[in-house]
Amino acid sequence: MDWSSFGAGFGTSLLGLLLGLFLNHRLTIGREELTEKRLQLRRQRDASAAVVKILSQWVRSTYLGRSPTAEEKWQLQTTYWENILLLDKELINLLFPRLANAKDAVTTNELIVQARRYILRQNEPDIKGSDLNNWPP
């Protein structure tokens, strides 16, 4: 047996094995990063939908120009419970003052702008509350 050819063959095999392990590791990392990005996008969509559902139920009776019925209050409470679980603490802190009609609460449009800034991870909002459309009845 020729030890030099054995050593060369072994070295080539070892190099191939290490290269295969490295490529597999990089592919695994790439898949995990892609999965994390998809999860983040899903969370953004869920949070956006949750804010919209809560606010749309909350403004409904005002939009219609009347006091909410018991059924509408129940629907608002149900919508709130269903969706508040999807929100981070910062979004909840944005919503609470507006839903409580606190004196220092921002307008609904400004709330949407701030929620959008948070959800899209912006340092500063890229739109203003006055940029948003409202269609009165």
Taking only the tens place, the pLDDT of each residue in 25-46 is 888 888 899 999 999 888 888 8
Taking the C-alpha atoms of residue 72 and residue 76, their distance in angstroms, rounded to an integer, is 6
Taking the C-alpha atoms of residue 97 and residue 24, their distance in angstroms, rounded to an integer, is 50
Is residue 136 in some structural domain? no
Find the domain containing 21 and state its range: 3-131
Is residue 83 in some structural domain? yes
Is residue 137 in some structural domain? no
Q: For residue range 72-130, what is the model confidence (pLDDT) as tens digits?
A: 999 999 999 999 888 889 889 989 999 999 999 989 999 999 999 988 889 999 999 99
Q: What's the structural domain count of the chain?
A: 1
Amino acid letter at 136? P
Give the global pTM: 0.69
Q: Closest Cα partner for 50 from 74, 75, 85, 93? A: 85
Is residue 103 in some structural domain? yes
